[in-house]
Amino acid sequence: MQILLATTNEGKVRELRKLLEDFRVEIISLKDVSIKFDVKEDRSTFLENALKKAKEYALYYSIPVVADDSGLVVDALGSMPGVYSARFYEIEFGGKVEDQAKTTDQKNIQKVLKLMEGEKNRSAKFVSCVVFYSPEGWGLFAEGECMGEITEYPQGNKGFGYDPIFKPEGYDRTMAQLDIDEKNRISHRGRAFSKLSEKLSKIIT
């Protein structure tokens, strides 16, 4: 059995493959398919985006799909970046970051830190909604959160996205300073996939 991971993000692919390693299935990503098909994430919630991706890819490729939509929610920024987390640097809220010498992750981090300058309330959380959808027309979903705070500057290089500026609750290190196994135990995505795995274990043998 094959399952398609609806992402081209290599960091996310590594994490998801690790989280699904107990299942006897072949895991492929969007980079592995020969015919390219793009689904626009234009919904207003993480769950709606994840469901849209999972359903449209499953029906297009005729293969079961696992899709997630995850993001950073910062209290002092009115829950932003939220569903705009992947492209926060390019939206009008707080001004755009157009430094071509930086990666997307670096620009997103730069923007969050700039907006958080002098802010005492640094509480934040990572949120993940993950959906499994079958081309037969049914699906499952699960959600996970990881509470924490925004650091003053980036620390660590093991993660991706906002990991270098997010310190999980109860830790003195950022997500980007944790090994993948430790991160998966506490991360929003790890918690969401743990819940989804319980449901999938009753279906996939």
SS3 83: helix
The domain locations on the chain are 2-200
Question: What DSSP string runs through 126-174?
Answer: EEEEEEEEETTTEEEEEEEEEEEEE-SS---SSS-TTGGGEEETT-SS-
pLDDT at position 15 is 74
| Higher pLDDT pick, 6 / 20 | 6
pLDDT at position 165 is 98
- Would you say 59 and 45 are in contact if contact means Cβ atoms under 8 Å apart? no
Cα(168)–Cα(163) distance, rounded to whole angstroms?
Answer: 10
Going by C-beta distance under 8 Å and a sequence separation of 6 or more, which residues neighbour residue 51? 67, 131, 133, 139, 141
Q: Which of 79, 190, 156 is nearest to 167 (CA)?
A: 156
Residue 166: φ, ψ to 5° = -115, 120
Q: In this predicted model, what pLDDT tens digit does every residue of 153-198 receive, in sequence order?
A: 999 999 899 999 999 999 999 999 999 889 989 999 889 988 988 8
Q: What is the CATH number of domain 2-200?
A: 3.90.950.10
- Residue 34 CA to its chain's centroid (Å): 24
Query: What average pLDDT does the structure give for the chain?
Result: 92
Residue 22 is a catalytic residue: no
Going by C-beta distance under 8 Å and a sequence separation of 6 or more, which residues neighbour residue 79? 73
Task: Name the active-site residue from 69, 75, 105, 179.
Answer: 69
> Which of 49-53, 87-91, 99-103, 200-204 shows the lowest per-residue confidence on average (mean pLDDT)?
200-204
Whether pTM exceeds 0.85 = yes
pLDDT at position 170 is 96
Taking the CA atoms of 128, 132, 135 and 139 in sequence, report the sign of the dihedral they define. Answer: negative
Q: In this predicted model, what pLDDT tens digit does every residue of 14-60 receive, in sequence order?
A: 777 777 777 778 889 999 988 888 898 899 999 999 999 999 999 99
Enumerate the β-bridge partners of residue 68. 130
Tokens of 55: 């359903």
Over 70: is that where the pLDDT of 205 sits? Answer: no
